[in-house]
Structure 1
Amino acid sequence: MKVRVIGAGALGMLIAAALAEAGVQIELVTRSREQAEKLSAEGLQLVKMKKKAGMDQHKITVRPSITTAEDLESNPDQQAAPDWILLMVKQTAVTDKLAQSIAAQMKPETRLICFQNGIGHTETLSRFIPIDQIWIAVTTEGALRHHSHGVEHTGSGITWLGPMNMANDEKKLNLLEKKLQNMFQDAGFSVSLSNKITSKVWNKLLINSVINPLTAILQIPNGMLTQLPAITPLMRALFEEGVRLANKLGIELADDLWEQLLTVCERTAANQSSMLQDVRACRLTELDSITGGLLAKAQQAGIELPSHRTVYQLVRSIEQQWKKI
């Protein structure tokens, strides 16, 4: 089985390294040639989590095939098309141009799995790629990129996988699901298959809409949110506004979603959210696809989300400071 991982950020490197160690044929696609050259020279380094208390972390180095997005765009080879493409770039990078590039890399049997936070990217992709070939992944795995060729697994979570189009042939779908589940489980990830992947997307969206902006504003790791009693009312307000919106849109949420949110904070206590990492690196955050996505849906539904509006303005203000430095 050949797997192409597009995006060599923290999560992309984590998934690529773990799958490669498990024997999967991996091709890792970087945005920059500099990173590709470093990965080719030094290998992809993964600091693995401790399995038990008292155990030391240990580092592995794997050597997947490395290429750049530019090279793929200029010379898409249908004969070398992978079985699976894991799209690990940020939601803000999912443009019409990228969708067209991915479509050119796919054969009819190729499936694209989207790991993006937030909402809106699948609509862009499905304008160029048949929805029968698009799958969605929702993961709570924690990863921290140390440098261009090294990543640390900072939090063990769960990954839900499901097709965008549930009207696919059931027998064929079951076979694909089993192959995919086995591939990730062999790499050490906890995986569940879901026929309600939209609900899973919204479950994670509401969790991210609380954790990501608050950790970015406060400059703290995930676990600190549960250690600061003064922030709990705001966390709860953000959560309840999101639930109200989901109910308005007829989207089913987990009954224990608040408890799941707190569990994510605890299990990824040392992890820096992707939005915090972006803020510290002075990069554009995924604010528009997470908080902004909720605000756009709320506007369409005719309801107000005042707490989300406030944190949106705060994070946007942090981003705007960079232009003045």
Structure 2
Amino acid sequence: MTWHIIGAGSMGCLWTAQFLKAGMKPTLLLREQRFHSLVSTKPILAIDELEGITHHFTINLDSPASLSDSIEYLLVCTKAQDAEAAVHSVAHQLSDHCQIVLMQNGMGSQQAISQHFSSQTVWAASTTEGAWMKDFLHVCHAGHGSTWIGPMSSTPDEPSWQRLKDALEKLSFDIQLTHQIEQKLWDKLAVNCAINGLTALYDCRNGELLATEERKKRLAELTEEVSQVREAKGVPNCGNLLELVHQVCIDTAMNNSSTCMDARQGRATELPFINGYLIKQAERLGIETPANQTLMRELAERHIT
């Protein structure tokens, strides 16, 4: 079985490395221009492990336009705003029984892809694995975590569950298949709504959000609004969300959020799929979200969108 991974950022490279370490032969899909600049080379993927060891792997590269293989398993690791277009770019190569696994921050892109690709089995993933890019095709594994994967639409039949389980069983990651992926996505949304935008606003590491009472107050207000919307949508809360947010700040204290890094580089962020998604859901439910709206306005004033 062959996985195709689209998105050569930290998660895409981290998971590609895991497939390679397991003796599998994944194909990493790049943008057309980048791919053609590397055609005449023998590209190497490097991963710095937590133990201080660096592994190097020869890697198969391709691009959506050049791809001739049929795709049986597709892992989408692009930014949320790029995910739907990314899947459409390889639609002509998706087999009828293709398993599509979506690994994006925020929410909204998963639902859109699930609706457009109803012929395939679409899964959403939520992970707490940590990684960052040292250079192109050089990823640093920053922290062990867990990954939950579950279906986005109607429950797949038993053979589909088994095929995905078999396709992932060789990996060393802690991977759990679940029927309750929506709860995990909302847990991650709460963390992202509270942490990502504030770290971009203050240009700080995650742990620094616990440094002052003002910042902790804002974390609490943002998280409470997520809880209100989540409850109104009938998604059960799994424990105390604010405790979860604080724990993530502690566990990833030295990390810079992806949104903070995007803001520093002047790139578009995933905030429309994080706080923006929450605000839209709240409006439909008649719930006010002043903390999230204020944050988005402050960020926009700094041209962070």
Matched with 2:23 is 23
Equivalent position to 1:68, from 52, 59, 63? 63
Question: Does the CA contact (< 8 Å) of 2:268 and 2:304 recur in 1?
Answer: no
Matched with 1:135 is 123
Cα distance in 2 for partners of 1:35, 1:232 equals: 44
Structure 1: runs of 5 or more not aligned? 51-56
Classify the secondary structure of the residue corresponding to 1:264.
Answer: helix
Residues 320, 154 of structure 1: alpha-carbon distance in 2 compared, 3 angstrom cutoff? closer
Paired letter, 1:292:
G
Q: Deviations over 1:287-311 (max 9, x none)?
A: 1010100011111111110010011
Q: Deviations over 1:250-286 (max 9, x none)?
A: 1122113332222222222222111011111110001
Equivalent position to 1:241, from 213, 220, 225? 225
Matched with 1:147 is 135
Paired letter, 1:241:
E
Question: Does the CA contact (< 8 Å) of 2:29 and 2:62 recur in 1?
Answer: yes
Classify the secondary structure of the residue corresponding to 1:94.
Answer: helix
Cα distance in 2 for partners of 1:320, 1:177 equals: 38
Cα distance in 1 for partners of 2:96, 2:250 equals: 41
TM-score, normalised relative to structure 2: 0.92
Matched with 2:8 is 8
Residues 19, 36 of structure 1: alpha-carbon distance in 2 compared, 3 angstrom cutoff? farther
Matched with 2:45 is 44
1:298 matched to 2:282: yes
- Return the offset for 1:225: 2.1
- Return the offset for 1:215: 1.0
Cα distance in 2 for partners of 1:145, 1:59 equals: 13
Residue pairs, 1:123-272, within 5 angstroms: 123-130=111-118, 133-169=121-157, 171-183=158-170, 186=171, 188-272=172-256
After alignment, is 17-26 or 311-320 more displaced? Answer: 311-320
- Number of equivalences: 304
Question: Does the CA contact (< 8 Å) of 2:102 and 2:122 recur in 1?
Answer: yes
Residues 128, 174 of structure 1: alpha-carbon distance in 2 compared, 3 angstrom cutoff? closer
> Alignment identity in percent?
28
TM-score, normalised relative to structure 1: 0.87
Cα distance in 2 for partners of 1:248, 1:224 equals: 31
Paired letter, 2:193:
S
Cα distance in 1 for partners of 2:276, 2:251 equals: 26
Question: Does the CA contact (< 8 Å) of 1:48 and 1:59 recur in 2?
Answer: yes
Residues 320, 2 of structure 1: alpha-carbon distance in 2 compared, 3 angstrom cutoff? closer
Structure 2: runs of 5 or more not aligned? none
